[in-house]
Chains A and B, each alone.
Chain A
Amino acid sequence: MSSPTLLTMFRCVLRRDLVLALRRRSDVLSTLFFFIIVISLFPLGVGPEMSLLRAMGPGVVWVAALLASMLSLGRLFSNDYRDGTLEQMLLTPQPLPLLVFGKVIAHWLVSGVPLVLIAPLLGMQFGLPADALLVLVGSLLLGTPVLSMIGAVGAALTLGLRGGGVLVSLLVLPLYIPVLIFGAGAVEAHISGLGAQAHLSLLGAFLVLSLLFAPWATAAALRISME
């Protein structure tokens, strides 16, 4: 297979998914607003004491990112599944993992990147200093693609099942936990002076591994679900 064909296919899938997502902007924006609202709930719940909020901040932002990412997973395959496009995608001669990769990248660009961009603003609500906010953005930038990649496996496994959203959460959250631990841990390590390098390196490792293996697992799961 010549490279231009594969790259063309990737660009085609990416463009299609981006156009479709931007046509239904409400889906995308509601994920973003969920993220904002959940993060804003925590200061309301635990009280305005700044030292407590500063300690909680990175963790809260990261948990909200996890939840928002999970909620947006339903959008990944279900629309194509419902109108039959997914079946056609499974029949293409091009490799399915590549197609899945394109869809997940499009999903991340639309659901993950807005979270990364608005995180500094929300981190300020928790009294985090500017350098900690930078580390937070970095950890989210490395971590949200991993969340999309791993989430895609869960979304593919539960395609068309009843109990949908809750079941995906049950499957995907245990796999998200290491990302959460290192993501929030990066910011906390930076604040405490230890340096976030180790945590960010591990997040980078997760990113590389998930970019490599998750599309393949998702493709296998799609073929299983589409029988």
Chain B
Amino acid sequence: MAINWFKYASPVTFYELAGKMIPWFAGLAVVLGVAGLYIGFFVAPTDFQQGEAYRIIFIHVPASWMSMFVYVVMAVWAGFGLVLNTRLSSMMASALAPTGAMFAVIALWTGSLWGKPMWGAWWVWDARLTSELILLFLYIGFMALQASIDDSRRADRAGAVLALVGVVNVPIIYFSVKWWNTLHQGSSISLTKAPAMAQIMLTGMLVMALAAWMYTIAVVLARVRSIILERERHSAWVADVVRSEAP
């Protein structure tokens, strides 16, 4: 039986589908998050160089990965909305931005908390930190631009152009530790070589990254449902939904 996936490109059908998907992803996020934090804080051994303070890696690295990944996903959805002229794609892009910005803030903040004991400084202007800060500014710019345009279709398209122009920053962040002589640690994990860190620490990090990913999906689906209701508020199906969910 072939499912016509494109029927979910309509806000009406996607609203329902998203509603059904959210509890599953939220549940996965909680389970994986608890597991990851348990591994990170209780199972993983003390690092011989950094002591206990290294454990912030289990929050810092997943948050950084998510901030970059969410930006790319946001740019992709915005691009689809721009090229294919689909409303729902642009709504997804708008829904992804606040979560991405949050992860960028967490990455910068936890990085700063880690930097003080390790490097002796709350902040250094090295390539990776600076480009992550630029990423945060790009998120904020995207949200500000969309907020300042009243016409929602123009807001979608303008935001898409901005997001696509800014996506060039993400490879810069990713490769910054390879291209420049930076204070920030180089990449310990690669697709082609064995990881340069203990297996259990890697596992904890990957579990937390998955937890962050599930969390992102759950939160973004919830947010996009709100955006759909707002944007489609003049339609009959929204009136029905509001009436049926009203107390």
Contact = CB atoms under 8 A, between A and B. Distances in A.
A56 to B, nearest CB: 14
Nearest to A167: B148
B144 interface: yes
Contacts of A171: 141, 144-145, 162
A18 interface: no
Given A153-B165, A174-B166, A217-B165, A167 B158 contact: no
A132 to B, nearest CB: 21
A177 B130 contact: yes
Interface residues of A, number: 21
Given A170-B144, A181-B130, A227-B154, A157 B162 contact: yes
B116 to A, nearest CB: 24
B137 interface: yes
A157 B134 contact: no
A45 interface: no
B148 A161 contact: yes
Nearest to B139: A174
Nearest to B160: A224
Contacts of B165: 153, 175, 217
B161 interface: yes
Given A158-B145, A174-B137, A221 B166 contact: no
Contact of A174 (B138, B148, B161): B138
Nearest to B138: A174
Task: Report which residue of A162, A167, A174, A175 has the largest number of chain B beta carbons within 10 angstroms of its beta carbon.
Answer: A174
Interface in B189-244: none
B87 to A, nearest CB: 15
Task: Report which residue of A181, A217, A224 has the largest number of chain B beta carbons within 10 angstroms of its beta carbon.
Answer: A224
B154 A167 contact: no
A157 B158 contact: yes
Contacts of B149: 161
Contact of B145 (A157, A162, A217, A220): A157
A208 to B, nearest CB: 14
B141 A170 contact: yes
B161 A217 contact: yes
A174 B172 CA distance: 13
A174 B143 CA distance: 14
A197 interface: no
Contacts of B153: 227
A221 B161 contact: yes
Interface string B7-21: 000000000000000
B28 interface: no
A98 interface: no
Task: Report which residue of B149, B151, B164 has the largest number of chain A beta carbons within 10 angstroms of its beta carbon.
Answer: B149
A163 B148 contact: yes
Interface of A: 153, 157-158, 161-163, 167, 170-171, 173-175, 177-178, 181, 217, 220-221, 224-225, 227
Given A157-B162, A217-B164, 18 more contacts: A158-B145, A158-B148, A161-B149, A162-B148, A167-B144, A170-B137, A171-B144, A174-B137, A174-B169, A175-B165, A175-B166, A178-B134, A181-B130, A220-B161, A221-B158, A224-B157, A224-B161, A225-B154
